[in-house]
Amino acid sequence: QVQLVESGGGLVQPGGSLRLSCAASGTIYRINTMGWYRQTPGKQRELVAAITSAGITNYADSVKGRFTITRDNAKNAINLQMNLLKPEDTAVYYCNADVRVSFTARPYVYWGQGTQVTVSS
């Protein structure tokens, strides 16, 4: 069993910054890609940023230049530094990890419980 625990959401004014963190725990052999997704009511969950175990990153066009994803492989953790936040960044943010629990196991995608980010004056 693998758990993803997120932290760092909250309320911030437009132009402000927030830092989200996510740590994976449990039976873990290897984690491939980890990432952040977000979702607003009535819309599909969308990718915000992702990072491979080798440090290769991928960002949604809407956050490029404002958000930075980093990873600590030793801690099975990722962070998302969000700067110059806009009201349209308001959403529930979910951590995601592609995990193998053993050498012979297939990768399986796990999700965190979500953390609310609200950008409002």
The per-residue pLDDT for range 49-70, each reduced to its tens digit, is: 999 999 999 999 999 999 999 9
For the record, the structure tokens of 107 come out as 């990768």
Confidence of residue 119 (pLDDT cuts 50, 70, 90): very high
Instruction: Report the C-alpha gap between 11 and 15 in whole angstroms.
Output: 12
Q: Name the average pLDDT for the chain.
A: 97
Give the DSSP H or E segment for 67: strand 67-72
Taking every pair of Cα atoms in the chain, the longest distance, rounded to a whole number of angstroms, is 50
Q: Is the pLDDT of residue 22 over 90?
A: yes
What pLDDT, on a 0 to 100 scale, did the predictor assign at position 77? 97
User: Cα separation of 37 and 93, whole Å?
Assistant: 6
Q: What is the pLDDT of residue 1?
A: 87
Binning pLDDT at 50, 70 and 90, where does residue 87 land? very high
Q: Provide the β-strand partners of residue 68.
A: 81
Return the pLDDT at 68.
98
Q: Is the pLDDT of residue 33 over 90?
A: yes
Among candidate residues 83, 92, 116, the one with its CA nearest the CA of residue 13: 83
65, 6 contact by CB (below 8 A): no
Give the single-character DSSP code of 49. E
Which amino acid is it at 21? S
